[in-house]
Amino acid sequence: MSTYLFPVFAIFIGVIIAFVTKKQKSIGTKLLLAFSGAFLLALTLFDLLPEVYHHLDAKRTGFFIMCGILLQIILEFLSQGVEHGHEHKLEEDKKFPWVLFISLCIHSLLEGFPIHHHNDMVYGVLIHKIPIATLITTFLLQSNHSKTQIIGFLIVFSVMTPLGTFISNNVVLAIEHLDYVNAIVIGIFLHIATTILFETGEDHKFNLSKLIVICFGVFMANLI
């Protein structure tokens, strides 16, 4: 049950953080984002990647991982990089940000697929989604969208990862091709995590703090 609930809890925690930080993008959120990137990357390399290579031949695995990287590049083009902490430009009207919404939902749906056979990945997704939910909530609160639109956005976004896990557990076609989907998800995770890790901070003090939390993220992942 935790595999379904943890991603939802992550969104709830992120929303609370957005309100506590008074709708501002804080240094703490950036550091949490760096920790989540390192934690997710380490879990992917320690757990998910070896498993996929075990079931698929190396060249085919590499091909689908590359497909995942390219897919994430496309999704980030549509979402303007919210998945790894870039601020989305505020719209001046009240049009619902459908492109952002759809791209984030696709990303969120796919990251739910590996959780069933790799239950440790739920912790990586949990940590990853908290700062993302904070940033998305911050954007929505600063926009001109109504409360109904904001709540609807967050509810649908929160259930997409559990939906991906449910599909991977119960849909025959998804089960038969799960290793291929997991390889695509690995590409998505690799691109997001490395983008977070290689982005520089505003000053050397922040870079040092970021280095510390990255090392801590790798260490924590190694303990799981």
The range of the structural domain enclosing residue 206 comes to 2-85+93-223
Which pLDDT tens digit goes with each residue over 73-83?
Answer: 999 888 777 66
Across the chain, how many H-helices and E-strands are there?
10, 0
pLDDT for the residue numbered 201: 55
Distance CA 5, CA 122 (A): 10
Distance CA 52, CA 7 (A): 23
Quote the pTM value: 0.86
Whether the CB-CB separation of 210 and 201 falls below 8 Å is answered with: yes
How many domains does the chain contain in total? Answer: 1
pLDDT at 90 over 50: no
Mean residue pLDDT of the chain comes to 83
Indicate the residue type of 95: K
Give the contacts of 224 (CB within 8 A, at least 6 positions apart). 43, 120, 123
Which pLDDT tens digit goes with each residue over 148-182?
Answer: 888 999 999 999 999 999 998 888 877 788 889 99
Which pLDDT tens digit goes with each residue over 91-148?
Answer: 455 677 788 889 999 999 999 998 876 667 888 888 889 888 888 888 888 877 788 8
